[in-house]
């Protein structure tokens, strides 16, 4: 343990590790959000459609490009893929009026159009992570033109689950309108507090784990990078939050076919492109059954469900992900692009 | 097994049991409802303060924070609509060039 303490003291002088280091260029910027295109590997791009990554609104995009060897983006670029990601930026006071339709309809449509145009492709593969997955599923149901395939990682679809977040948002005394009216942008510390409720002993447990394994530089790098990301959150545009919590969490309108996007009814059965859903067994933010529900409602026969062990974040950025999840996703896209299949699905992965 | 490892094993067991014990408590209406009420009351108070402050600014003929936010949001919306039109124009030109 003492070795760990000394190592931690030594590392404290170096500061937090760099994150999101894969080189990228901004190909479109509008209001606070921007679309980044990662620079191709020196050998150039391999054949295949571009991939657009859509992260959650609450967290920073660089979770998918955390650090070398723990970066899904770096992996895809190394494999020759043309990768884009949406950086939602940091909303400011006037963005309280940004609506769910602005984000799930107009912004996503623009991002997919720009990516397709820059890459010279008619459409793009779309991957949505967490809330990003919900947004992309809604978009694909109503605006399918540019979506060649849809991959959703740990994205809530059925919001009436047994998770604590669902129970909190359905608390009768929680006045959604009062919160949005008073804050405008729903402050991220408030949302983070709700996440801590998921496991109240988490902070203490993290501290002890850190003390126990701080001697290991590799562990320390990963731990500090995740902590940096986990505490670098953004506040949520109020109007959008009101609809997200009110219609999705409280009314469960998406699964009841009662949700609308820019006035058009969202029927998930209208999703006809290939769909790949990934769920994580120990995900306590998005219970896996809530995410897996998408498989039951989409209108395509080309669908696949991959269920892996691990939590909401760890399962996407861990060492294991590099050997299981990432090759699986890449292989699935390659098959849909008519290229050679890359298979390395683990025995514990359940496909259907 | 050294002292730290023994302590860590005991801590892990305690942490796991405590988390399991707390889980139904933090999910129960007896915790969530008062938390919701407290949050809502605080937010209503904040809204009242915001309204009082806005009324004061308006009384001396100055734009309120909300006025400025609305104006900036309209500008952002306008920028977005201009980009939409630019895209449509480019598409129309490309279609015409093909013909």
A198 in any annotated domain: yes
* Segment A295-303 mean pLDDT: 96
Is B72 in Cβ contact with A30 (below 8 Å)?
no
Chain A closest-CA separation from residue B60 CA (Å): 23
pLDDT (mean) for B72-80: 96
**Distance between CA atoms of residues A274 and A244, nearest Å:** 26
**Which range among A183-192, A228-237, A258-267 has the greatest average pLDDT?**
A258-267
Q: Is A94 in contact with A118 (CB distance < 8 Å)?
A: no
Q: Is the backbone of residue A188 left (phi > 0), alpha (psi -120 to 50) or beta?
A: alpha
Note whether residue A77 is domain-resident: yes
Burial class (CB in 10 A: 0-12, 13-18, 19+), B20: exposed
What is residue A293's predicted lDDT score, i.e. its pLDDT?
Answer: 96
Residue A98: predicted pLDDT? 97
Cβ distance A171 to B29 less than 8 Å, yes or no, reads yes
Is the predicted pLDDT of residue A345 greater than 90, yes or no? no
- Whether residue A292 lies inside any domain: the answer is yes
Residue-range definition of the domain harbouring residue A122: 2-335
- Check residue A351 and give its pLDDT: 38
pLDDT in tens, A32-89: 999 999 999 999 999 999 999 999 998 999 999 999 989 999 999 999 999 999 999 9
- Residue A169: inside a domain: yes
Q: What is the CATH number of the domain that holds A130?
A: 3.40.50.1820
Q: Is residue A4 pLDDT above 90, yes or no? A: no
Q: Is A256 on the interface with B (CB under 8 A)?
A: no
Count of the separate structural domains present in chain A: 1
- Between CA A89 and CA A97, with CA A92 as vertex, the angle to 5 degrees is 105
Q: What is the pLDDT of residue A1?
A: 67
Higher pLDDT among residues A232 and A17, named by residue:
A232
Can you give the pLDDT at residue A184?
95
CA-nearest residue to B66 within chain A is A94
What pLDDT, on a 0 to 100 scale, did the predictor assign at position A284? 85
Q: What is the pLDDT of residue A198?
A: 82
Mean pLDDT of chain A: 91
Mean per-residue pLDDT, B37-62: 94
Q: Which of residues 57-96 of A touch B (CB under 8 A)?
A: 93-96
In a domain, residue A341? The reply is no
User: HSE-up of A305 (CA within 13 Å, CB side)?
Assistant: 20
pTM of the model: 0.92
Q: Which long-range contacts (CB under 8 A, 24 or more apart) does A298-302 make?
A: A298/A268, A298/A269, A298/A271, A299/A268, A299/A269, A299/A270, A299/A271, A299/A272, A300/A271, A300/A272, A300/A273, A300/A274, A300/A275, A302/A273, A302/A274, A302/A275, A302/A336
Residues of A in contact with B26 (CB under 8 A): 164, 197, 200
Does residue A222 register a pLDDT over 60? yes
Q: Model confidence over A173-191: pLDDT tens digits?
A: 999 999 999 999 999 999 8
Could you read off the pLDDT of A144-174 as tens digits, one per residue?
999 999 999 999 999 998 778 888 899 999 9
Interface test with A, best of B54, B65, B80 (most A CBs within 10 A): B80
Among A16-20, A236-240, A263-267, B68-72, name the one with the lowest average pLDDT.
A16-20
Residue A343 maps to a domain: no
Query: What is the average pLDDT across A18-26?
Result: 94
- Cβ distance B19 to A199 less than 8 Å, yes or no, reads yes
Rounded mean pLDDT, A325-336: 96
- The closest CB to that of A182, out of B29, B33, B43, belongs to B43
pLDDT class of A11 with cuts at 50, 70, 90? confident
Do A181 and B43 count as a contact with CB atoms less than 8 A apart? yes
User: Could you tell me if residue A350 is inside a domain?
Assistant: no
Determine, yes or no, domain membership for A351: no
In chain A, residues with a C-beta closer than 8 Å to the C-beta of B91 are none
């Amino acid at each position: 343990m003492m070795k760990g303490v000394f190592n931690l003291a030594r590392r404290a002088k170096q500061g937090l590790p760099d994150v999101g280091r894969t080189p990228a260029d901004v190909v479109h910027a509008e209001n606070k959000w921007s679309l980044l295109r990662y620079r191709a590997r020196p050998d150039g791009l391999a054949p295949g459609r571009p991939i657009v990554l859509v992260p959650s609104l609450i967290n920073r995009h660089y979770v998918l490009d955390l650090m070398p060897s723990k970066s899904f983006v770096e992996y895809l670029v190394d494999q020759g893929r043309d990768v884009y990601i949406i950086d939602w930026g940091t909303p400011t006071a006037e963005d309280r009026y940004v609506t769910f339709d602005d984000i799930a309809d107009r912004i996503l449509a623009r991002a997919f159009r720009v990516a397709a145009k820059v890459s010279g492709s008619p459409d793009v593969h779309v991957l949505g992570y967490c809330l990003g997955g919900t947004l992309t599923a809604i978009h694909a149901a109503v605006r399918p033109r540019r979506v060649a395939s849809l991959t959703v990682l740990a994205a809530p679809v059925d919001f009436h689950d047994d998770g604590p977040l669902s129970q909190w948002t359905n608390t009768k005394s929680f006045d959604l309108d009062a919160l949005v009216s008073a804050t405008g942008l729903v402050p991220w510390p408030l949302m983070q507090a709700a996440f801590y409720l998921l496991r109240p002993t988490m902070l203490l447990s993290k501290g002890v784990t850190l003390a126990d394994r701080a001697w290991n530089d590799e562990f320390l790098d990963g731990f500090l990078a995740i902590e940096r990301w986990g505490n670098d959150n953004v506040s949520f545009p109020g109007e959008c939050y009101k609809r997200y919590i009110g219609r999705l969490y409280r009314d469960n309108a998406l699964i009841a076919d009662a949700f609308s996007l820019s006035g058009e009814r969202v029927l998930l059965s209208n999703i006809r492109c290939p769909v790949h859903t990934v769920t994580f067994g120990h995900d306590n933010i998005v219970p896996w059954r809530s995410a897996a529900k998408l498989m039951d409602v989409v209108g395509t026969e080309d669908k696949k469900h991959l269920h892996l062990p691990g939590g909401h974040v760890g399962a996407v950025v861990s060492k294991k992900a590099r050997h299981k999840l990432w090759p699986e996703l890449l292989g699935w896209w390659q098959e849909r692009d008519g290229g050679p299949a890359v298979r390395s699905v683990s025995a514990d992965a359940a496909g259907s | 097994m050294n002292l730290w490892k023994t302590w860590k094993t005991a801590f892990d067991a305690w942490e796991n049991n405590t988390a399991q014990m707390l889980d139904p408590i933090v999910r129960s209406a007896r915790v969530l409802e008062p938390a919701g009420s407290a949050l809502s009351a605080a937010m209503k108070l904040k809204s009242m303060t915001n309204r009082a402050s806005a009324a004061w600014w308006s009384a001396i003929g100055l734009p309120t924070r909300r006025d400025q936010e609305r104006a900036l949001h309209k500008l952002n919306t306008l920028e977005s609509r201009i980009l939409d039109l630019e895209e449509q124009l480019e598409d129309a030109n490309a279609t015409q060039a093909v013909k």
